[in-house]
Chains A and B, each alone.
Chain A
Amino acid sequence: MSAVPVRAFAAPGAGDILLSVRGLKMHFPVYEGALFRKVVGHVKAVDGVDFDIRRGETLGLVGESGCGKTTTGRCILQLERASAGQILFNGKDLAGLDRNGLREMRRHVQVIFQDPYSSLNPRMKVGEIIDEPMRVHGTEPDKAKRNRRVRELLAKVGLNPRFADHYPHEMSGGQRQRVGIARALALQPEFIVCDEAISALDVSIQAQIINLLEDLRHEFNFTYLFIAHDLSVVRHLCHRVAVMYLGKVVELAECDELFDNPMHPYTRALLNAVPIPDPEVEAKRPHQIIQGEVPSPMNPPSGCVFHPRCTLAVDGCKTGVPVLRELRPGHWVACTQV
């Protein structure tokens, strides 16, 4: 990706970039054979992704299952070691870090997972769960002070401090997600990856958690990478949005610009597929339903990976790989036909 200019994909006028992802690739080997295992191919989960995140910004990363959005998040968190590319956090490449470097990095980079049932240790009390990161990182050696901090954090996420003595199974899904958020806050990170952080919650609880994430952003000036498939939530919460398809970013723009003026045929189809909770709007709205399914990332289509499902595709799309082009200020599209 040497053709990419240095300042590409940054928000217009952005000076202070917290995280830069450049040429990120994550190819998982696929093995065959029980005794003599050999690599028979690669799942190209992430295949050349570039974006920047400004300090204090929320970047939405959207796409359907298998598009690589979660893997991108996991690579940033160093839960996967990327096959290629750079992840620069505060200018430092995370890929080159050793154990101590990673530990230091994790003080600044935290994560909120999708499933509040499986991401909290069922054998630990809520207080211990929130206390653990502070204990492990030694940010506060005094136990009494840590306990006080746990109670402060619980109050901060809207839970009664008495929950510190409860176990996760005694709480509802929304309450557990608040515990997950309190744990992420414990080390006062700069950057939080929210991986489908509200998808598993009930409709009436989602808005509570969205508001909480926003309040925390205002209070602590957090930077979020908000990975989600629910486009209406992403529109509400994010400053800029990147749309992924089959391991690649196909469109990236300011939030309002992307939703008001989607350019990539996939983004258009995706937005059109989201049903709007109003029967009259739905009855009037034309529905262009995209045909076919997402191809296997092990054997992606040649050229533009979207061409087999695309209504605009021409012969050239089968061979040429489209690069992101800035068609309007700050609005990047990987399509030759728009």
Chain B
Amino acid sequence: MASLLEVDNLQTQFLTSGGIVKAVDGISYDVEEGETVAIVGESGCGKSVNALSIMRLIPWPPGRIVGGAVRFRGRDLATLSDTEMRRVRGRDIGMVFQEPMTSLNPVLTIGLQITETIIHHLGVTQAEADKRAVELLGLVGMSDAARRLQQYPHHLSGGMRQRVMIALALSCEPKLIIADEPTTALDVTIQAQILELMKGLTRRLGVALIVITHNLGVVARYADRVNVMYAGKIIERGRAHDIYHRPSHPYTLALLKSVPRMDQPRKEKLDPVEGQPPDLTRLDAGCAFRPRCAYRTEQCDQSFPPLEAVAPGHSAACFERGRVARLARAAS
């Protein structure tokens, strides 16, 4: 059976005063039905542009999808007309953004925003849509749903707004939800509530989830499979267990080693990833991570290493992946 979503050699570029930025530079991954896949990386690695590209929400100018394909249930989304694409957004693929205050319309009630989506996509009556909206708010754990529907976004706290966003994303029973940093703007106890809610709902309703985040802890708690991005490319992919216990790309390994962990004894000093994130306008043919890499060889200057298998279902884009994996295993 084909995957629910297949991203195939996707390339998205932005034209800036500094030159062309290859924000997403030939990434491929897939998402199975009902699965939670994480895209992890730091600012500027292309993880959000990847989400916007799937939804065809890249504004031109300055951005443009220049190559590759995104197939949703076997259908290439790039070939759809704008009208057809609008049907996919919200109906087949729901989205949850980082900042719920800016993604909700401040002058419309919560109820109107939810029912509008339901009526638009499912063509039901206002009364049916109202009933569904009450159900949805109950589903996302908002009490007193009927009153909530009359409220405006500014009446709600950040956590409540994010619940509304999740209700909206779920409103038309999508097959896939893309959540871009869904809890970054929230406090840690509220983050735990929202993540638990999303995990429970996606499992129960069989919805697949793409979680885009920079938080390694969030990924560890919720993802089945993980894609690690750096400078527009996926540099490591595997099951969550492989990524955390057998990291095979120097960046993944360094990132995991750099964060202090509450479950381990305090270290004298942290091991930071040295150097600065790359300037995307000045990338050359070699590996983008090599200026910060402890495993660098001459080969790394010549070409960008392809994503190749280290074990079944686990691959890394590093010429030295075997050596890195052995060292990581010895250390853990």
Q: How far is the CA of A75 from the CA of B80 in the complex (A)?
A: 58
What per-residue 1/0 map shows which CB atoms of B7-23 lie under 8 Å from chain A?
00000000000000000
Any A CB within 8 A of the CB of B326: no
10 contacts between A and B (CB under 8 A): A64-B188, A202-B43, A203-B259, A206-B258, A206-B259, A208-B272, A208-B273, A270-B188, A276-B262, A280-B241
Any A CB within 8 A of the CB of B283: no
Per DSSP, chain A at the interface is helix
Any B CB within 8 A of the CB of A289: yes
Verify A236–B266 contact, CB threshold 8 A.
Answer: yes
Q: How far is the CA of A214 from the CA of B268 in the complex (A)?
A: 10
Within 8 A of A (CB), among B247-295: 254-256, 258-263, 266-267, 269-274, 276-277
Verify B244–A279 contact, CB threshold 8 A.
Answer: yes
- Min CB distance, A299 to chain B, in Å? 14
Interface residues on B, range: 35 or more
Any B CB within 8 A of the CB of A281: yes
Any A CB within 8 A of the CB of B313: no
Q: How far is the CA of A65 from the CA of B187 in the complex (A)?
A: 7
Any A CB within 8 A of the CB of B66: no
Any B CB within 8 A of the CB of A302: no
Verify A207–B273 contact, CB threshold 8 A.
Answer: yes
Within 8 A of A (CB), among B179-211: 187-193, 195-196
Any A CB within 8 A of the CB of B73: no
Verify A270–B189 contact, CB threshold 8 A.
Answer: yes
Verify A273–B188 contact, CB threshold 8 A.
Answer: yes
Which residues does chain B contribute within 8 Å of A273, judged by CB atoms?
188-189, 191-192
What are the nearest 3 A-B pairs in CB distance?
A275-B217, A207-B272, A204-B273
Q: How far is the CA of A233 from the CA of B267 in the complex (A)?
A: 11
Any A CB within 8 A of the CB of B159: yes
Verify A276–B258 contact, CB threshold 8 A.
Answer: no
Q: How far is the CA of A281 from the CA of B244 in the complex (A)?
A: 11
Verify A293–B259 contact, CB threshold 8 A.
Answer: no
* A274 and B262 in contact, given A64-B189, A202-B43 (Cβ under 8 angstroms): yes
Any A CB within 8 A of the CB of B128: no
* A276 and B192 in contact, given A174-B276, A203-B214, A207-B270 (Cβ under 8 angstroms): no
Partner of B217 from A208, A211, A235, A276 at Cβ < 8 Å: A276
Any A CB within 8 A of the CB of B317: no
